[in-house]
């Protein structure tokens, strides 16, 4: 059995972070984002291969995942010749596959029970199963309506308040039968949401929903990227190294270096190779990536620092995301939700 991860997007909403780092390998704590999706797929022992459907900077992604060595599943890459949309990408990646497919959009962090979704699909003898998730503000999304038996009846794009009949949206997780892919045109951009799914109902094919009320978030914006870190630090979502961890305690790698006199207050995360120097303060909701350096007297909180970035002496940082290999000078002040791309330099005494 195979799975496809749709990981070809350019991550434009996360720029400048994604100019040199494709969204599938954007770090969530100490791991590339797609590791979390692959962990979910490993719930199903039948899945022996995960296919990454790529378009943007594919080599950078291959460098991270290789062929899946040590991950318990084989990784294969399919690079779209041009952006093909969600439906076109699935058909292109699924060439030669006849067995049931599990498909994930490449920007979703979730606690969904993939085994239960597959069981629902098989019990209904469905041609397609879509995972739905409830949201508080349905008018901001495209709603998916179902009948009393859980069959999908209608998609409604960004409804007006008076049109809202449910609170469930497409969670970007599907189980599909490849014998239905004949309706997807070859080598052109085609939407699974606007083309393929409506065709199932038009042809009277069994199309069912699985409603998951567990954790779900689209990490594709800086705000949501920060939110998933906060949710894991607070214990609202447990995955990766935070599976079973005490959310209120600082999580510090044994390979990190914390000098005498430094102060660490949880919840926070400090990766291997990071160095927090004397009298520096690492406050709640700080994430220090591998090899990051915090100089004497600097104070950080509510900040995500990517690998190999250096924070200068006596700087005060509260709120931003700092990309890789940045250099923040002495006595710099950054407050608020700034996003600094890789190799950004802020000179001494800058206020941002």
- What number is the average pLDDT over the span 320-347? 96
Query: What is residue 14's three-state secondary structure?
Result: helix
- Judged by DSSP in three states, 153 sits in strand
In a domain, residue 229? The reply is: no
One domain for residues 276 and 160: no
Among 49-58, 135-144, 194-203, 317-326, the range scoring the smallest mean pLDDT is 135-144
For the chain, what percent of residues have pLDDT higher than 90? 61
Q: Residue 240 has what pLDDT? A: 63
Domain membership of residue 236 (yes or no) is: no
> Does position 146 have pLDDT exceeding 90, yes or no?
no
Say if residue 41 is in the same domain as residue 156. Answer: yes
Same domain, 299 and 217: no
Express each pLDDT in 8-46 by its tens digit: 877 788 899 989 888 888 999 999 889 999 999 998 999
- Report, as an integer, the average pLDDT of 247-271: 92
Helix, strand or coil for residue 126? Answer: coil
- Cα distance between residue 209 and residue 175, in whole Å: 10
Distance CA 335, CA 305 (A): 14
Nearest-5° Cα angle at 213, 153 to 166: 35
Per the structure block, which two tokens stand in for 139?
Answer: 């008018």
Question: Last residue of some domain: 206, 222, 238?
Answer: 222
Judgement on whether residues 165 and 72 belong to the same structural domain of the protein = yes
User: Are both 342 and 299 inside the same structural domain?
Assistant: yes
**CATH code for the domain of 206:** 3.90.550.10
Instruction: Give the mean pLDDT of 181-195.
Output: 88
For residues 49 and 155, what is the distance between their CA atoms, to the nearest angstrom? Answer: 31
The answer to whether residues 37 and 167 belong to one domain is: yes
Q: How many domains does the chain have?
A: 2
Element (H, E) at 85: helix 85-93
Burial group, residue 203, by CB count within 10 angstroms (0-12, 13-18, 19+) = exposed
What backbone phi and psi angles, to 5 degrees, belong to 120? -60, -45
- What's phi and psi for 331, nearest 5 deg? 55, 30
Residue scoring higher pLDDT (314 or 68) = 314
Question: Which domain range does residue 88 map to?
Answer: 2-222
Give the pLDDT band of residue 118 (cuts 50, 70, 90): very high
Tens-place pLDDT, residues 71-101: 888 999 999 888 888 899 999 999 989 999 9
Place of tokens 């995942």: 65
Q: Closest Cα partner for 142 from 110, 164, 117?
A: 164
Same structural domain for residues 194 and 85?
Answer: yes
Handedness of CA 309, 314, 315, 316 (dihedral sign): positive
pLDDT band at 187; cut points 50, 70, 90: confident
Q: What does the pLDDT read at residue 133?
A: 92
């Amino acid at each position: 059995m195979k799975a496809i991860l749709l990981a070809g997007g350019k991550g434009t909403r996360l720029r400048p972070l994604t100019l040199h780092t494709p969204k599938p390998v954007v770090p969530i704590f100490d791991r590339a984002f797609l590791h979390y999706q692959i962990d979910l797929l490993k719930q199903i022992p039948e899945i022996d291969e995960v296919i990454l459907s790529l378009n943007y900077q594919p080599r950078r992604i291959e460098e991270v995942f290789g062929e899946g060595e040590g991950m318990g599943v084989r990784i294969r890459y399919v690079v779209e010749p041009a952006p093909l949309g969600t439906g076109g990408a699935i058909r292109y990646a699924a060439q030669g596959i006849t067995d049931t497919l599990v498909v994930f959009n490449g920007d979703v962090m979730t606690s969904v029970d993939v085994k239960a979704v597959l069981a629902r699909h098989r019990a209904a003898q469905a041609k397609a199963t879509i995972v739905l998730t409830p949201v508080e503000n349905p008018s901001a999304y495209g709603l998916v309506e179902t009948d009393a038996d859980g069959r999908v009846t209608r998609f409604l794009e960004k409804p007006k308040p008076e049109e809202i009949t449910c609170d469930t949206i497409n969670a970007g997780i599907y189980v599909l039968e490849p014998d239905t892919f004949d309706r997807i045109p070859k080598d052109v951009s085609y939407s699974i949401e606007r083309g393929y799914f409506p065709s199932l109902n038009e042809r009277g094919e069994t199309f069912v929903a699985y409603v998951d009320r567990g954790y779900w978030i689209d990490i594709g914006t800086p705000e949501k990227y920060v939110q998933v870190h906060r949710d894991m630090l607070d214990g609202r979502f447990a995955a990766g190294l935070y599976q079973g961890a005490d959310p209120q305690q600082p999580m510090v790698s044994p390979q990190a270096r914390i000098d005498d006199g430094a102060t660490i207050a949880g919840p926070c995360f400090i990766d291997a190779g990071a160095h927090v120097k004397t009298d520096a303060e690492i406050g709640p909701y700080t994430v220090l990536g591998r090899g990051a350096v915090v100089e004497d007297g600097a104070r950080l909180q509510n900040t995500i620092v990517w690998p190999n970035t250096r924070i200068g002496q006596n700087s005060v940082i509260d709120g931003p995301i700092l990309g890789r290999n940045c250099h923040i000078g002495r006595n710099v002040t950054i407050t608020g939700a700034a996003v600094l791309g890789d190799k950004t330099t802020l000179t001494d005494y800058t206020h941002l």
